Amino acid sequence: MDFDFSHHSLTTDNLTLAHLARGAPLVQTLISLINEVEVKNHELILSLFLSEENHCLRLLATSNLPPAYCSAINQMIVDGAQQFSGRDMEASGFFSSLRDMAKTYGLHVASSAPIPYCMHGTHGLFIAHFRQAQHTSDACQQAINNAAVLASIAIAHHDAEARIRKAEDALRNNETIMALAIDGSQTGIWDRNIQTNQINYSNGWKAMLGYSPHEISSHLEESYTRIHPDDLASVKAAMQAHFDHKTDSYVVEHRIRCKDGSYKWISSRGKIVQHDASGRPSRMVGTTTDITAIRALSEELQQNVKLITSLTNEVPGLVYQYTLKPNGDAFFSYASEGIRDIYEIEAEQVAENIDAIIQLIHPEDLPRYQDSLRASAINLAPWHLEYRVVLPRQGLRWRQVDARPRKLADGSILWHGFITNITERKRIEIELEGFATIDFLTQIPNRRYFLARMGEELARIQRVAHARAAVLMCDLDHFKDVNDRHGHAAGDLVLKHFAVILRNATRKIDTAGRVGGEEFAVVLADAGIAEARIFAERIAHQIATTPVLVGDLSIYVTVSIGISVMHANDVNTDAALSRSDSALYMAKDMGRNRIEVSDV
Ligand SMILES: Nc1nc2c(ncn2[C@@H]2O[C@H](COP(=O)(O)OP(=O)(O)OP(=O)(O)O)[C@@H](O)[C@H]2O)c(=O)[nH]1
């Protein structure tokens, strides 16, 4: 039996659109649509299935289709959109199996209509059943097609709304995160209309200064009254620089008055974000961050640095930090003002390398200086040294260094230490040493005592007829090489070793002394040239054949010796000494490791 579907479809459209306008849930809208079509034909049962991504059908809306039959359709797989076109259903394998299944539920498949989606494709399809077997009229098919279009609109509308809701949720979420971040960073936001000079502040901005949301006006001029008078010029200059395109953004730190009259330090940043049609800036937005606490902390830090600097500058001498990099680069990472007195240079001169200092160290002390520093680095042992410097203004001066090394993660070594002026102490020490009789290093008579003993011997010769005495000057050969090759400490051991040889070789009536760095002298009482030569040969042989052991090293040295005898008519001790010295000079000249006798 036929029905006037064309009149009916108009009512259905309106009803469906009314549902959409009301924002009714999708399924409710679709069921109302289905009811509207069914109510005009009692034999018709409409059902709407969505096609899933896995090519299955899923029931979305029906009023009268038996649930068990719906579940069976839900399991069916559809192979393509073309099968959904109603008139072709006879040709479709899907519909022939659907028709067989419908019969088991006492129903007859009448027709179907795809639910269009965009230009091509479908959301799914309407399937129409009849309770009695009958022909589907064109008008009926038209009504089903029309319902399919309306369903498509309802589904698209629903999808669009869902997308908008999702975007709104994401935006709200972002806004919440942004608000939390701004709150947590003690930051307020401002927005300035450059042409009207109105500024709007966020509530957080106002709260930062202790104001409630309605307490601050939006006049630019009023904002200037809150800026500390001493900072106003720099704030305006920073703003102008940005307006004049001299800066990418407006950035300034200044003080601002709070509601209670106190001042806070703030960091204000902003940027022009809009221009009017003629290109003039029209809007600027920015942030204001409370940096009072950070400023206070940095001021405290600066005070501490000042305190440490003035303390180190007050300490007499040079307080310093010295760095030795794994690649050998060395420099003073810190040097107090004392460097001007200790080395007569500026800290900057040694901030990158220490050449300026190396040049000032006395050449004789430089090897000791470098050896001891190296040893401190290798053993990570405290560095202590007394050494001489030759300064442009002060001349020869004594310095003492004391420093502690520490190894850093990158392999560098860092010393913290100080260098003091010990010139006066050294002067007294040297003076006192003059009064002493024993040489500290070798523990044999020193030069002063040796000359005194020589004087006594000369007096004896001048007093006693036929009395004799021989004078030997001994100088170790190439001693500088020993120092250079094995270090100063090894050189000291060699000096001590030779002193022991001399002490063991001399009698009570003889005197052996250290008269210079590596120079030794001997007075042999009651001895002439022949006895002196035998003595000289003995000690020369001993030193040449008994090595000094330094660790695994055996250091061999030789000695050159000059011999002369004292004369009763010598005016002083210098006479015999200088004759022996000339003979020694000859021995050196003739190739070293030799004994030469003065012929005078
Ligand atoms: N280890 C050590 N070396 C010293 C001491 N006093 C002086 N010297 C060093 O002795 C060396 C003497 O060197 P030179 O005068 O050039 O003589 P040399 O190398 O022995 O050469 P010749 O005498 O010509 O064979 C210098 O390098 C001094 O630094 C000391 O107390 N200990």
* Backbone φ/ψ region at 470: left (φ over 0), alpha (ψ -120 to 50), beta: beta
Find residue 471's DSSP bridge partners.
Answer: 523, 564
pLDDT band at 184 (very low <50, low <70, confident <90, very high): low
> Does the residue 88 lie in any domain?
yes
The finding on whether 598 has its CB within 6 A of some atom of ligand 1 is no
Same domain? 261 vs 352: no
CA nearest to 572, candidates 461, 466, 455, 484: 455
- Whether 378 is covered by a domain: the verdict is yes
- Does ligand 1 have an atom closer than 6 angstroms to the CB of 477? yes
User: Predicted confidence band at 316 (pLDDT cuts at 50, 70, 90)?
Assistant: confident
Q: Specify the CATH number for the domain of residue 418.
A: 3.30.450.20
Q: Is the CB of 488 under 6 A from ligand 1?
A: yes
Residue 80 domain-assigned? yes
| 241-254 confidence digits (pLDDT tens) | 999 999 999 999 99
- Specify whether 509 is located in the same domain as 586: yes
Tell me the pLDDT band of 3, cut-offs 50, 70 and 90. Answer: very low
Q: CB of 518 closer than 6 A to ligand 1?
A: yes
Question: Which CATH number belongs to the domain containing residue 508 in this structure?
Answer: 3.30.70.270
Quick one: 261 and 343 in the same domain? no
Say whether both 76 and 194 belong to one domain.
no
- Tell whether 176 is covered by a domain: no
Strands (E), 248-373: 250-257, 263-275, 281-290, 318-324, 330-335
Could you give the CA distance from residue 50 to residue 67 in angstroms, rounded to a whole number? 16
State the ipTM, two decimals.
0.97
Per-residue pLDDT band for 78 (boundaries 50, 70, 90) equals low
Which residue range is the domain that position 80 belongs to?
5-162
For 91-96, what is the mean pLDDT? Answer: 71
Residues with Cβ within 8 Å of 345's Cβ and at least 6 positions away in sequence, in order, are: 339, 356, 357, 360
Q: Which residue has the tokens 């004789």?
A: 364
Domain assignment present for residue 491? The answer is yes
357: Cβ contacts below 8 Å, ≥ 6 apart: 343, 345, 350
309 assigned to some structural domain: no
Residue 290 has pLDDT above 50, yes or no: yes
- The answer to whether residues 9 and 154 belong to one domain is yes
Looking at the fold, whether 279 and 351 belong to one and the same domain comes out as no
Find out whether the beta carbon of 84 lies less than 6 Å from any atom of ligand 1.
no
Domain count, the chain: 4
User: Is 523 in the same domain as 567?
Assistant: yes
Does residue 168 fall inside a structural domain?
Answer: no
User: What pLDDT, in 10s, does the model give residues 364-384?
Assistant: 999 999 999 999 999 999 999
Residue 303 domain flag: no
Name the one residue in this structure whose structure tokens are 């209509």: 113
pLDDT, one tens digit per residue, over 441-483 is 999 999 989 999 999 999 999 999 999 999 999 999 999 999 9
Per the prediction, the chain carries an average pLDDT of: 89
- Name the residue with the closest Cα to ligand 1, atom 29: 364
pLDDT above 90 covers what percent of the chain? 60
Residue 342, H or E segment: helix 339-342
The CA distance from 600 to 50, in Å, is 133
Residue 579 has pLDDT above 90, yes or no: yes
Q: In the prediction, which pLDDT does 594 show?
A: 97
Question: Do you know the residue count of the chain?
Answer: 600
What is the distance of C-alpha 302 from the center of its chain? 21
- Taking the whole predicted model, whether its pTM rises above 0.80 is answered as no
Same domain for 244 and 144, yes or no, is: no
Which among 257, 278, 296 is the end of a domain? 296
Asked if 203 and 267 sit in the same domain, the reply is yes
Higher pLDDT, 97 or 363: 363
| pLDDT for res 541 | 98
| 403 pLDDT higher than 70 | yes
31 and 104 belong to one structural domain: yes
Residues 198 and 253 in one domain: yes
224 and 287 share one domain: yes
Residue 2 has pLDDT above 80, yes or no: no
Whole-number pLDDT of residue 183: 66
Instruction: Summarize the confidence of residues 539-548 as an average pLDDT.
Output: 97
